[in-house]
Amino acid sequence: MSQTLAKKHIGVLGGGPWGIALATAAARAGAQVSMHTRREPPHHAGVHVTTDYAEIARASLVVVAVPSTVVREVLRALGDHLDGHHLVVHGIRGLSPDGLETVSDIVRKETPVRRCGALGGPVQAYELLRGRPSAMVVGSRFPEVTAAVTEAFHSPSLKIYSTPDIRGLEWASALVGCVAIGVGYAQQAGAGPGLLAALISTAVDESAKLLAMAGADERTMLGLGGYGDLLASIGLADRPEVIIGKALAQGRSLEDAVTDAHLRVEAITVIPRIVGFAKQHRVKAPTFDILAEILAGARPEALIPRLFA
Amino acid sequence: MSKAPIFGFNEHREEIVREVVNRVVAGTKDSLLVLNDAAYHETKRLETARRPHDVKEREEWRTLARSLGRMGDGERRRRLTELTERYAWDVAGNFNPRVYSLSKRLLPPLVTSLLQPTMFLRKPQELLNLDVLKAHVSIEGPIAKIQKLVQDGTAVFVPTHLSNFDSIVFGYALEAAGLPPATYGAGKNLFSNPVLSFFMHNLGAYRVDRRLRHNLYKDILKTYSCVLLERGYHSLFFPGGTRSRSGGIERRLKLGLVGSAVEAYARTLIAGKERRVYFIPATINYLITLEAETLIADYLSEAGKGRFIIEDDESTQLDRLFTFTRKLFDMRGAVVIRFGEPIDPFGNRVDDEGMSHDSRGRAVDPASYVKNRDGEVTLDATRDAQYTRELGEAICAGYESDTVAMSTHVVAAACFHRLREIAPAQDLFTVLRQRDVLTVPRDELARDVSAMREKMKEMEQRGQIRLGEHLRAASGGDIVERAARSFAGYHTARAIESRPNGIAIVDPNLLFYYQNRLAAHGLGWDTLAPPGMLPAVPVQLRSVGSPSTTSSGAAAAEGKTP
């Protein structure tokens, strides 16, 4: 490895746990990192904190890690400082409420940037923070973006995989977030390994069909950014989606469950929209139907067996 | 207006061919692979050839293929250069300014005579009257802006493609709109006619031999196109590749030649002589299409994979052309060329001054898209292929919003909708078998049509489609009448027929063809969405007052095949 080569400047948008984790991982891999956040910035070695978008725009690779609810405004503001040479990637697990746009669609709409990418895969924030070995996926049709992300994040403890199917990766990440709630719910409800495996496989199958309808490659759902990401949720008791699922299975309200999770969970707004999308395109997605019922307050014991009816 | 570079083409032709040869040869990393590929495809193409010339060529390729392995690299390079030179000279066209100024005077009467052959015989003096042509081919769009942009930039015209008539009509449209001539790749078969060949050859067309499938030839074509664009030659591509078989607008493009524009632009930057490239989508819209019957039969036999049996024979082409042009001449506004909003190679809108703007209206420097992270302009084929893909999407979006709908399309869509309601099953081929089984009362069809037209007016307000002049103003009944008249005189099979009890739906295939023009808009039945693309969401069309169909209409939409 050419550890001695000076790594390039990267900008990170968002000072939440995920933004901090990404900034830390990049700094550890040797990049010069500027992070844009309006929160009280905790000090992190090698990360320069700013509230000025122009400073972020001085980096040629910008990583967006803000909640999906504000991503449009943030990109619009940042877009004033960007031009066609910037590379923009995002690590947001979500689809827009109006029309299920992916975040990269929003990047193209709100900024002059064309060369964009998405981050996904099973890697967890704490793994990035502590430098624990893990794997991340970058999706982009532009090899330059894949190369830039690899250069910025690749380290002995973080392996970067890539796919040209950016749309597939974005959809897979969003759907995995939804299904992870179901995983938590089933675990809490006492589902054994066999039932859990059946639940996951059924959900992956439905998700793959949904990806195809969304104009992506269904195989992306079967890879690290889909199946792989979902498998990680089994062992992750502290994954926010899993926490919410468990809380719901205990009979707690959605509001309480969200409070338990401490983090914003994009899946809560995505699930009902996926149900609508499936209906519109005549794709059978019973797992998502049931997830929507659970979120709407239904708690019948018989929900899980119904999946296999 | 400054002279377009094409006027100096002949002086530079040799230089251009040299440049193409040098670039192709220098860009070839593995000459063994390239020569092998060419020999393989050529031997395969000539496998069953009988003509002595072809047989000789085949044997030459075979000999080459056999000896490639033993050749040294120097020898291979020499053979590669020879081949490239031969192809490049074959592709290169000619531009004769005298022929151009002659044809400028000849073209309008030529097109007129095509549109109305009998006029040649009856009133030759009328041929020089441009007004006759103006009445039949209307030209719309931001023409003043395009005229301004071509002064300093290179225009790439990318129209929709329905008919062999297109290149003639579009060539006329450029001339009539005060735009400079554009060079374009024309099928080599068109050059076999000596008269046509003389004009094409001298008007800057280059020869594309569609029979050649190997990579070396494709590379030469792309490089040729790139060199011309770099030098500021305005170009014309039909990015659909071939005529639309279904009658629908193009929703996925063949981007090979289109893609040479990004490289051409980057090369002008590297050379320190930035020359901007502007893409100008355009739609060519016909009330009736010359080849409609052949094309739709072709489309259905391919789409149906044998389920479809072609029932009608075509009459002779000359006969058809004659009837077609007479028919077209009967109808005002039967051909509309609509230029769309110019965009840069990265899909950004371009203003009057040639500045690019992103989708939020911010000015953006197009050069930034071909710069790497260090701010240097680079050539990168993979990157450019992605830009071109996205550009293709922007061009297709332009096709959709600049489609000029005419009475034939709307009436066909309305009839086809009725047909789906009575068909026993909802798959396309069952619907297409409903020949002459349904007659719709005139006033009901008129009501359907005017309901659809009202919806289309709303869509036009939102910039989603355009309405032809007649369609915008006429009553539902008149629109049906005009469509019936348009179908009647030309197509051998009558699409619809006026009978005492109403309008009989006679030939579903033709109606399918014409309704397909509105499929992408959700106004027709969308069975055409290319793989990986969702069909258009159907626009709710039925007017509130039509009793017989509201419920069954919804049922028909429900049963739609995905």
Per-residue pLDDT of chain B (562 residues; tens, 9 = 90+): 456 777 777 778 889 999 999 999 999 999 999 999 999 999 999 998 889 999 999 999 999 999 998 999 999 999 999 999 999 988 886 666 666 666 666 555 555 555 444 444 444 444 444 455 566 789 999 999 999 999 999 999 999 999 877 877 888 888 889 998 888 877 666 555 555 555 555 566 788 888 889 999 999 999 999 999 999 999 998 998 888 999 999 999 988 888 899 999 999 999 999 999 999 999 999 999 888 888 898 898 876 544 444 333 333 355 666 677 677 767 777 899 999 999 999 999 999 999 999 999 999 999 999 999 889 999 999 999 999 999 999 999 999 999 999 999 999 999 999 999 999 988 999 999 999 999 999 999 999 999 999 999 999 999 999 999 999 999 999 999 999 999 987 888 889 999 999 999 999 999 999 999 999 999 999 999 988 788 888 887 654 444 444 333 333 443 334 3
How far from the centroid of its chain's Cα atoms is residue B435's Cα?
A: 30
| 3-class SS shares of chain B: helix, strand, coil, % to 5 | 55, 10, 35
CB contact under 8 A, B358 and A144: no
In CATH, A9-164 is 3.40.50.720? yes
pLDDT single digits (tens) A211-230 = 999 999 999 999 999 999 99
CB contact under 8 A, B358 and A111: yes
d(CA B120, CA B45): 43
Three-class secondary structure assignment of chain A: CCCCCCCCEEEEECCCHHHHHHHHHHHHCCCEEEEECCCCCCCCCCEEEECCHHHHHCCCEEEECCCCCCHHHHHHHHHCCCCCCCEEEECCCCCCCCCCCCHHHHHHHHCCCCCEEEEECCCCHHHHHHCCCEEEEEECCCHHHHHHHHHHHCECCEEEEEECCHHHHHHHHHHHHHHHHHHHHHHHCCCCHHHHHHHHHHHHHHHHHHHHHCCCCHHHHHCHHHHHHHHHHHCCCCCHHHHHHHHHHCCCCHHHHHHHHCCCCCHHHHHHHHHHHHHHCCCCCHHHHHHHHHHCCCCCCCHHHHHCC
* Domain A167-307 homologous superfamily, CATH: N-(1-d-carboxylethyl)-l-norvaline Dehydrogenase; domain 2 (1.10.1040.10)
Q: Where are the domains of chain A?
A: 9-164, 167-307
Per-residue confidence (pLDDT) for residue A307, from 0 to 100:
58
CB contact under 8 A, A281 and B362: no
Instruction: Give the nearest chain A residue to B347 (CA atoms).
Output: A114
Per-residue confidence (pLDDT) for residue B303, from 0 to 100:
66
Find out whether B508 and B496 touch, Cβ atoms under 8 Å: no
Distance (Å) from the C-alpha of residue B364 to the closest C-alpha of chain A? 6
Per-residue confidence (pLDDT) for residue B450, from 0 to 100:
96
d(CA A228, CA A121): 7
Q: For chain B, say whether A167 makes contact (Cβ under 8 Å).
A: no
Question: What ipTM was assigned to the predicted interfaces of this complex?
Answer: 0.90
CB contact under 8 A, A85 and B532: no
Token pair in block for residue B516 = 């397909």
d(CA A62, CA A34): 9
Identify all chain A residues contacting B532, using CB atoms and an 8 Å cutoff. Answer: 212, 215
d(CA B345, CA B277): 7
Instruction: Give the nearest chain B residue to A147 (CA atoms).
Output: B373
Distance (Å) from the C-alpha of residue B530 to the closest C-alpha of chain A? 11
Chain A window 91-130: which residues touch B at a Cβ cutoff of 8 Å?
108-112, 114-115
Find out whether B230 and B267 touch, Cβ atoms under 8 Å: yes
Find out whether B263 and B140 touch, Cβ atoms under 8 Å: no
Per-residue confidence (pLDDT) for residue B547, from 0 to 100:
44
SS3 (DSSP) at B182: coil
Q: Where are the domains of chain B?
A: 5-91, 96-135, 137-182+234-286+336-401, 404-558
d(CA A183, CA B405): 52
Calculate what percentage of chain A has a pLDDT beyond 90. Answer: 67
Give the H/E segment covering residue B192. Answer: none
CB contact under 8 A, B375 and A85: yes
CB contact under 8 A, B373 and A109: no
Per-residue confidence (pLDDT) for residue B304, from 0 to 100:
53
DSSP codes joined into one string, B128-179: G-HHHHHTTEEEES-HHHHHHHHHHSEEEEEE----TTHHHHHHHHHHHTT-
